[in-house]
Structure 1
């Protein structure tokens, strides 16, 4: 394996670990209860507001992205790893946009319906929450793509 390839592979592995860990912290510790409750609201549901949902989701994604950026910056410094600003910004943008789409809930629910996962996305029994599991799988996939971009 060439030095360039092993170096890129190491940057990918480190970037993925940093992005993934930061995502968990941002989703479960940084996100406010208000953001978590409102981010999926839509006007077509009684007592809900699409505008409030968009605002809450945008606020959550802003802190989520800041948490990931901080982890990438601090982690790459501690590891002595150079991540170029352009690819890092592109990686964070991909993570932010796809996170917003998923956290508005309806787009992911529609995708689940279109791919035969209707029952699973609505499952909330037997210690399982299908919507959460699909949400996390979506995030992991795009965080992997973001890490590949950051490692460029």
Structure 2
């Protein structure tokens, strides 16, 4: 039963994460959540609040429909790690410490140029893989607790 709980909850978290990051997050939040200011922290907190509501809703749906035993500890891990990474400078710091700073800036607009930004940047790839790893951990914690 643990494997079913883990798998079902992981899928629910993954889907909620995708919807929260790409549909529910406001343009303002996306642009300002990484600013090193109170406004940036507030934008990130608002995004993570919506994100957590969506992961709780889809996780709760799976819990009810499939009659699973799920701990809320996974929600806490998911929310905290999402906030930490979405402050951006934190993830850039980690990338630098791990020798990934050149990858982090891959595809980013050049300073002083009006380059076209895309979702295909190194920062985006590292951000999403960070979130996916912690969704895995959150689902495992939720299933085992």
Above 0.5 in TM-score? yes
Q: CA contact under 8 A between 1:11 and 1:81: conserved in structure 2?
A: no
Q: Does 1:15 align with 2:1?
A: no
Distance 2:50 2:61 in 1: 16
Runs of 4+ in 1 over 2 A off after TM superposition: 125-128
| Unaligned ranges ≥5, structure 1 | 1-6, 43-49
Aligned-residue Cα RMSD (Å) equals: 1.4
Other-structure match for 2:51:
64
**1:120 alignment partner in structure 2:** 103
After superposition, where does 1:28-67 map in structure 2 within 5 Å?
A: 28-42=22-36, 50-67=37-54
Gap regions ≥5 residues in structure 2: 109-117
2:62 to 60, 70, 75: 75
Match of 2:80? Answer: 97
TM-score (structure 1 length as normaliser): 0.85
How much does 1:149 deviate? 0.9
With the length of structure 2 as denominator, give the TM-score of the two structures. Answer: 0.89
Which protein shows a greater Rg? Answer: 1
- The answer to whether the 8 A contact 2:62-2:68 is kept is no
Q: What corresponds to 1:129 in structure 2?
A: 121
